[in-house]
Structure formats: structure tokens, C-alpha cells
Structure 1
């Protein structure tokens, strides 16, 4: 075959193969879909993934199989998703840690979120609450800032570990206010909360849903939500954004697919998941877990991931944590 014949054959093959993604999307799905959750079963993230999986399976008329692959701060499961076939039969559950934090925090992350994935949809947003020990003499964000500025380096805060959502939320607060508080990492949010209740820690940040029962029981003080504005379910608790306009340390959950997944399938998944999220039942179920339904377009979710990546890269560099962890 001559060079010109090879070129013509290539053009003809491209013309034949181009419609295949659309054809595949028309028949999609024709077998069960794997939903990788990069966390162990039973936790909050796993619960949200399963909330979505069942009704989404009903929408698509195929089973959604939740595949828990926890470990290494969501790296193990996310890497598995990055290397999966880009055919629409692998979905990957994500959150800021896996797609906006890890790439700066880790020196040798085995995947690149921007290169290896296509965003499908943001599922929700979750408010974090800053709770203080009852013996800390502050009752507002303004009072905390003044108290901490008068005692640089003397106040501490706990979290479920280095680079966790609660840790980075308070570091964002430190940078935004110019205060300096010492981080004390614990092996889980539960032990950090117990230490705060006991007065061994001055404060900690964690999901609102976990903190509220202890706040209502008077064991800790719910000082503020680390959000731009108050939330409807807890209107009596101020938002940090009221004192620091634009401040937002909320976390979120979303869905990705491997890069190369046909655009028609991405749009189909987005449309079907939006339909699931828009039901009153889903809004109620999310609310009981401290989450607010979001939904929207792949483009909006991509923009959120990008902005959070920039935000956390800047923060991790400011606090000396960029590249501080090796897998």
C-alpha cells in the first residue's frame, strides 16, 4: 500500500469510527456499572455514594455496583478509576481531597486529576463547623480572632489528621485572619472531638452533622460554620463568611469518569444523576447527613474543581505542606 493509500484509508476509518461513541451512548448501559468509592464501607462518603447508586441504577435500568477501595487518603481507589476503561462503565466518587488537595500535598501522586478524569457532576456541598471547648472564653468569630491574635501560637486545634478537611479548613481560617494556631492531628475525627469535649483541645472543625448532637447537648460550643452564609438547618450559628466575606471551607462530593469517556455518555450520566438529585426524597436524605444537594453541569463542576485546586495549592504552600507527604 502506498503512502497516499494509507492516508486515504486512515481518513475513511476515522469517518466510520467517529459515530461509534454516539452509537455506544444510544445502547448505554447494557451491563452493570461499577462505582468506585475510594473509602471503606460504612463511612459518610460511602453512605452518600450508596444513596445515589440505587436510584441511579433504577434510572439507567442497570445495577450500580459500589466498589469500596479505601486507603492512602483516597489515592488507591482514585488511581484505580484513572486506569479504568473509558467506556462509561466505571464511575469514580470524589471529594476535594482526591482531586484538589492530594496533587499538591503528595510528592508522587500516581494520577493527575485534570489529565485522567472528566467531571460529571457535583452531588452536594457539606458545611464544616468550628466547635470550641466550653472553657474557651469566646462566643463569636470576632472574639476568637481577637483572642487568638492576643495569644499567637498559644491556641490549638485538632483534626482527623494532616491534610484532612478539618485541618485545611482551620488553616484557611488562620491564613485569612492572620492568626496562628497549632494543629494537633488525631487518628480520626472522633478522638479529636472527645479531646475538645474534655478541654484538652481548644477547638476543632468537622462535618456539621457530626458536631450538632454534641453542641445541642452542651458538650461543646458551636462557634461558627466555615461557610459563606448560614445554613437553613442551623440558623442560630453564624457563618465565618459574615465576618470574612468570601470565606468558604465547605467540602463536597462528586462523580468523575475516566478521561476519554464519550461525551454523549458523560451527558447522559449528568442528566440522569441530576434527575435523581432533584427528587424531594434525595434532598431530605442528603439533609439528614448534613449535605445540601447541588447538581448542575459538568462544566460547572470542572470549574469548582479547578478553583479548589488553586485555593488548596496556595494554602499548602503558605503553610509549608506542599509535597510534604510521600505515598
Structure 2
């Protein structure tokens, strides 16, 4: 994060493969949120050794999910055509080579429907306070190529899996520009603070002024019990929904990225989820919607039935493979 103002975008490697049960990469969510907070784009990829399993047995489902996740969060995953994967003493370097047909449909989807990506940013009624002081502390204590083991990483993972839209606000220091002091916090439903020890007096006062909207982190369960979700999924588990809007165009549709991480490890494929209901609370955007369309890689867009009752809009998605996009207008 040095010299942020002089950079147009960042390119970096992340540790994507967690434990065997972790299909949807966790730590990278923090990196996407932080990049959004400093208004920079990420061109991201996995650390070399994370490509080694695909080299060994040509299983690519997780890599496809990494690509979908990056675009759903508003960033870019570098095309994994030829990736150095591992270096072992006295052996030639190992390289992962993708095959024709592995990933083209995902990248063509992004290009063919660029209007669903360009100019969009995350919708959020909840903010997490990122303290650069905490990040610096952990940088001194450990060297790792993934997100620092701080509470904000746990919080953003929990909120993401609960489909609670949120963003970061940077509490800066002598290294990184502060955005907290100039931020309007009145339109937020909740602001989550972690370690006030690393905030200056002005930053602390700014947070104290919002009263009951301020939540002091203790654990994920406490956080989720405090915030009412504005998006819910019915009829399927393990679906992450990312809401995005174009704030420069009031007529542009609201975008909901739907990422399905129900992975069948034996088949190395994502299990199609049928008749998935996406419920959206009007409190998230204040807008009423009358039409919905569904887009997905490799299929033609289709109009879907939309049911608006009171403060909630429900859209049924007949078939969701790994990734799809709902547009609401």
C-alpha cells in the first residue's frame, strides 16, 4: 500500500487454497474490500503452489470459482494460461498449463456483458473500520502472502457468507490517507470497530458520535446477531450474493452476482441449484423493481418473474450453476 496515490491498479498473488473444506476462498475477500476502500483495481492471481494440484490431476473447478469470485467482487483474475507452480531442488520447474475450453467461457462472459461490470461498485449499508495501524503491527509479526490474521478478516468473511453487504472505511495514519474523518456515516445501518488502540483521538470521536450504530467487534456470532440481513437466499445453501450498483447512472439496473460454491469434489464440478429464491429488502437501495433478467456464462439471458410485496422483492432463479448475474430494474 505504499504510494497509493501514484498507482492505477495493483497486481498481486494470494493464498487461495485453504483447508479441504474451504471451497470459497476466504482471505481474498479482505483484499478485495481493502482495494475498494482505497479506490484501486486488483489484477489478482493465486500463489504458484496453489496451481500445483491442477497441474497434477487437471482439476480446474476451484480455479474457475476464483475467476468468478474476482469479477463478482469487482476485480480481475489474471488468465491462468501458463502458471509457474512449484520449484523443487534438482528438478525442473513445474508449470501448470490450461487447456482450450477451461476458462474461455468466463472471460467471454465478462467481455460480452461488460455493461454489467463497468462502472459498478459494491452496495453497502454496513461499514468495517480498517485500521492501518493494526495491519502494520501484523506485518511486523508475520510474513505471509494472504490477508493478515486480524479480526476484520474474520468479520468480512462472516458478513459475506451471511450475504450482508458491507464495505471498508480506512482509518489512516502517517502511511495511508485517512478517509474516516471525511466519511458521512449517517446513511449507514451499522459501523463495526475493532481495536481502538490504533485510532487517533479524532477518529475515536468520530465513531463515538454515531451512538448505537457503532458495534464493537467481539466475534462473528455476536456481529451477525446484531445486523439484520437485507439479502437472503432460500432453496439452496452455500450461495454468496454480491450486490453492486452504478452510482453515476440512476437508471442503471441493480446487479446481484450469485456465486454457487456447492462443489462436487468427485466430479470436479459445481452442483446446479434449482429454484433458488433471492429475497432483497428495499432498505438496501430504497428502490422498487418491476423486472429481472438472469445472465450466466454460456447461456442466453432470460427474463425472470419478480414478486414485490411490501418491503421485499423475491426473484426465483430456476437454475444456478457456478455463477450468474441478476439484473433488477
Report the TM-score range of the alignment, normalised by the length of the smaller protein. Answer: under 0.3
TM-score, length basis structure 2:
0.26
Question: RCO (CA 8 Å, sep 6+): is it higher in 1 or 2?
Answer: 1
More strand by share: 2
| The structure with more radius of gyration | 1
